[in-house]
């Protein structure tokens, strides 16, 4: 997993991760953190999901369709997916688009 993504996940979720950790291990650690928040501080979980910008409608849909699947696993997958999207977006705009004029860049 990409170093920058690991750092983002560490910061957002207060996890200790090393660079050689696998995506499955990260997902399991995030799911454990989410389960802890579900049990002990649900309002902090909702704040976290809002700050990360998890789509509420999509989350509800996936949870309703989940059946016996663990909610924390679903949320963990969405967190990783959203952070990857943000990282890709940052890279895209950081490198600059040559078709954007200087006035439109900020």
Residue-wise pLDDT for 20-42, tens only, equals 788 888 899 999 999 999 999 99
Task: Quote the percentage of the chain above a pLDDT of 90.
Answer: 51
Among all chains, which residue has been given the structure tokens 């309002």? Answer: 43
Q: Is the pLDDT of residue 106 over 70?
A: no
Chain-centroid distance of CA 36 in Å reads 17
Residue 71 CB neighbour total at 10 angstroms: 15
Q: Is the pLDDT of residue 85 over 60?
A: yes
Residue 63 CB neighbour total at 10 angstroms: 13
**Per-residue confidence band for 101, with pLDDT thresholds at 50, 70 and 90:** low
Specify the pLDDT at position 7.
81
Calpha distance 48→34 (Å, rounded): 10
End-to-end CA distance of the chain: 30
**Per-residue confidence band for 100, with pLDDT thresholds at 50, 70 and 90:** low
Calpha distance 32→73 (Å, rounded): 9
């Amino acid at each position: 997993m990409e170093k920058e993504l690991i750092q983002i996940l560490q910061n957002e979720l207060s996890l200790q991760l090393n660079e050689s950790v696998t995506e499955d291990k990260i997902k399991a650690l995030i799911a454990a953190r989410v389960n802890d928040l579900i049990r002990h501080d649900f309002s902090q979980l909702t704040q976290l999901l809002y700050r990360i910008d998890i789509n509420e409608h999509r989350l509800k849909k996936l949870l309703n369709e989940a059946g016996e699947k663990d909610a924390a696993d679903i949320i963990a997958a969405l967190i990783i997916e959203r952070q990857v999207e943000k990282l890709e977006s940052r890279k895209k705009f950081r490198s600059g688009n040559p078709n954007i004029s200087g006035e439109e860049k900020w």
